[in-house]
Structure 1
Amino acid sequence: MGEKDIQDMFEWAGLSTIYDQHGYKMWLSGLEDSIDAELLDHFADAYSFENAETMFYDEFLFHLRIFKNISNNNELPPRYW
């Protein structure tokens, strides 16, 4: 996945302001290897980024990693009940 794919994914999720501010850092850190469009879309729905202009990249990455772990570990197997 290239830089343009990441940009498109963030624009599709409605997080283009965050990508504009931190896109280069995302590309350097290899963020595209650990997320997909569906995860990013759910993340954008769950979090409110009212302070996106003042948010540090580390803070954004922290919230994204927590959300990814919660969504991965919060799924029950079929017929759990």
Structure 2
Amino acid sequence: MDFVEALLGWSVVIVLLEWIMWRIFYKKTVRICFLTEPDLPFSRYFTIGAMRVLAILHAAFLIGVIFFFYSFLW
């Protein structure tokens, strides 16, 4: 039961922190995603959807790292 509580607790903390960071850096992210004229050939790779997928992957990676160390250290 402790493992499930730790899993849920850390998952909630990481998702909350990722959401806060998304809200803080939203304008900067939009500026990166919608590049200026000289960078337009690369703009098709950096969309809001791609940034959201990367944020989800980042959160999943953090959760995985925490569980790896939680499992082996305790």
**TM-score of the superposition, structure 1-length normalised?**
0.37
Structure (1/2) with the larger helix percentage:
2
**TM-score of the superposition, structure 2-length normalised?**
0.39
Higher-RCO chain (CA-CA 8 Å, sequence separation at least 6): 2
Q: Which has the larger radius of gyration?
A: 2
